A and B are shown apart, each in its own frame.
Chain A
Amino acid sequence: MAGVPFLLMKGIQKRFPGVLALDSVDFVCEQGEVHGLIGENGAGKSTLIKVLGGVLQPDAGEILVQGAPVKVASPSRAASLGISVIHQELNLIDDLTVAQNIFLGHEPRRGMGVLDLQAMCASARDYLRVVGLDVDPQAKVRALSLEQKQLVEIAKALSVDARILVMDEPTAALNAEEVKRLLKLIRDLADRGCGVVFISHRLEEVFAVSHRITVLRDGKVVATRARDAIDPETAVRMMTGKGQVGARVTGIAPSGRPLLEVRGLTLPGAFYDVSFTINEGEIVGMVGLEGQGQRDIPRAVFGDLRPARGEVYLRGTRLHLTSPRDAIRAGIAFVPEERKAEGLCLSLDVRQNIALATLDSRQVAGFVRLSSEASLIRNLVERLRIQLASPFQEVRNLSGGNQQKVVMAKWLCGRPAVLLFSEPTRGIDVGAKEEIYRLIRRQADEGSGVLIVSSDLMEVLRLCDRILVVHDGRIVKEMPAEGADREAIMTAQWGLEAAPTQGSSTPGLCHGGIT
């Protein structure tokens, strides 16, 4: 690898409101190399990929391809430079054929704009052979399996002569056998002279396939090492943040009386055999890397997803949940991660949003008791310190923090026994964050049980009483939050704990590797 590297990213900086997502990041990828990129949630992996793929523009720094500075202004510019990004959500059109997808936007022509269908099929076949996919180029993509679709994506990248192939979590939805084949193909592509940037939340895969590994933490590169010069334990240590955990948000100690019990909850493809208990007055945090199924667990408890197996008990009584309505009636509330999509009616006013979930409790013969509603809302606005001009203000005009408080107020109307949160402070400024922590703690002090699914480890460490770590759809570790060892949490998140994982693990790859 002498001379000028094929791809060089130098001093890349990217700032989002309130956070420095990338802080002078240097990244190199040679042709013929598989370069693993790892880091915690929010370490900056996807931001870096977006800068490379032309989706985001860096605030500072430069990108050089074969030594020449380039401006990757758009994804199509990236493609013309030989950089192809394959996202986790595949970018294929189901109703077109395999060949049409491969050549979408650069179809072979015969002049006068007429498609050369024969050439298209023939060269599609060539690319499919390279990726080892045996399907008819005329077949509709809809009929393919996920693994096959992924291979079509790779064939598509090859057809535009990709020399750097970025793969973001390509193995997330594949089974062990499919993962093995894909890793083999990645190595083959590298041998043919392609540079591959490989991102995965499964460390054993990264170690099995990569020549070099770069570790990101808090938007900075911690280290770039040859595969043989680093081991998984060291990598986890590097990824673990060193920042101080702020003061814990404490309150009355939980009673120890079980409130919500979840037993053996299973939803194939999302989570397996999940069991946990939340006591009265307790705040339980659930952490995991992106896409490990943890986000679906509160949804199943709330009746939004129907688990295939398992039971939910509230104060010892089994709940039969077929819809959110059932859960709400039983006294369960859920604050979803996307407040605009699922938590709020943006075109309605504050009053209507807050009242929505508990209309039945304040009605006479179908009429809303406006005076009792008004006083209830006044109380909640005061208690939660929601800043607004009037309760008749549309919620779309409120700040993120105040919107989140409106969603909370909606549930506090009904005095829920159990509160489920998914990312309670996503996209909220620091001041409002602290207020929301105190509100959640106060709710627990009043006897509610709280479950918080969060990708912000600091948040969970500060606010929760107990932490559950989810990896690959299973709870792999449980520990008290106070004085919790962050490295232990990270190790469990990355599945390095000797946990009873089955199904999609890749035994044998971790040690032997592919050579």
Chain B
Amino acid sequence: MPRKVVPTSIRSGRAGNAPFLVTIAVLLMFVAGSLAPGFLAPANVLNTLRQAVPLGIISIGQTLAILTGGVDLSVGAVAILSNVLAANIMNGEDSNNLKAFLVCLVVALIVGVINGLGVTRVGINPFVMTLAMGIIVHGAALVYSKGAAGGAASPLMKFLGTGRIGIVPVAVVLWAVLAVTTLVLLERTVIGRRIYAVGSNVQTARMSGVNTACVITGVYAMSSVAAMIAGLVVTGYMGVGTLEWGIDYRLTSMAAVVMGGTAFEGGRGGYLGTLGSVLAITVLNSLLTILRISEPVRQVFYGLVVLFFLMSSLRGSKESA
């Protein structure tokens, strides 16, 4: 028996639409490069990648939530709250970093666990549960900041948001580390196996001894923490707490996950596909900017792309059913 380790994600078909999406991303990059000569310069490519980081990290949690057959619509609000909290607690001082991090972490965990318990113990539909939770959290961010941006990122946070190691942005490195961790978690660990089992058939999972409530609650907690980390990255990038970004991530992350080939019914797909669609979306956005397409038109275009992928993935799942 050959002992060669082939990535199981490829053998078990978990790559989703990743190869296709990455190809599209690369093609779009060359199109953009031919229109704007500087686009393909390494520095610009890395810059484009950095713009993808918040969506990429938030989509980690969204992928996990959708894999269990749920969805997490509170991610945007959690990212905003952690941004506001972090900026205010840090107040520009590195000495406050640990405190800020711990507060954000605890808040994110509480939100995630409440989401999980609402879904598993109370039996609320994940869509409704996390949407409501998101509204509450967003409201809390507004109350906490008294409706105005404030605070200041610490130097370490700014390094995280805007700094570079060599020419590679620190945020991109962080994303890469989290992405690899997620892929390993899903493919190689007991928890990963259980996430897929719960998403594929929750009753079978229960009858096989899986503590399904625990797995689902854990996933919502991880999703909140991912959103919180994205909030910290944005804090570093913006330098302040701000309320003008982020709430749309609940939908764009969902679109990215589903475009990547993770099925809404759960148990199918993985982060590789999500990664592909985050890249494709980001490059597409840059291209549309180069083409000077106005924001409203971009929205229409963006919606059509999501619709196209949803339809093709629906056709795919019907064929295999």
Which residues on A are within 8 Å of B, measured CB to CB?
A: 302, 304, 323-325, 328-329, 334, 336, 341-349, 352, 355-357, 359-360, 363, 366-368, 370-371, 378, 392, 394, 396, 410
Contact = CB atoms under 8 A, between A and B. Distances in A.
Nearest to B184: A367
A345 B203 CA distance: 9
A457 B78 CA distance: 59
A357 B210 CA distance: 7
A357 B207 CA distance: 9
Given A324-B209, A356-B197, A357-B209, A343 B190 contact: no
A368 B201 contact: no
B186 to A, nearest CB: 11
B77 to A, nearest CB: 30
A345 B201 contact: yes
B307 to A, nearest CB: 24
A3 to B, nearest CB: 52
A366 B211 CA distance: 15
B209 A328 contact: yes
A73 to B, nearest CB: 27
Given A348-B197, A356-B197, A366 B190 contact: yes
B117 interface: no
A-B complex: 4 closest residue pairs judged by Cβ atoms: A345-B200, A328-B209, A357-B208, A325-B209
Given A324-B209, A368-B188, 6 more contacts: A345-B197, A356-B204, A359-B190, A370-B188, A371-B3, A378-B1
A18 B200 CA distance: 31
Contact of A304 (B204, B207, B268): B207
Given A356-B210, A359-B194, A347 B189 contact: no
A342 B207 contact: yes
A352 B207 contact: no
A357 B197 CA distance: 10
A344 B201 contact: yes
A341 B189 contact: no
Interface of B: 1, 3, 5, 8, 11-12, 188-191, 193-194, 196-197, 200-201, 203-211, 263, 267-268, 320-321
Contact of A352 (B5, B191, B196): B196
A368 B196 contact: no
B64 to A, nearest CB: 16
Contacts of B267: 345, 347-348
Contacts of A367: 188-190
A324 B208 contact: yes
A352 B186 CA distance: 12
Contact of B201 (A304, A346, A349, A366): A346
A344 B204 CA distance: 6
A345 B212 CA distance: 14
Contacts of B11: 392
Contacts of A394: 320
Contact of B208 (A347, A349, A368, A410): A410
B200 A346 contact: yes
Given A345-B201, A392-B11, A352 B193 contact: yes
Contacts of A325: 209-211
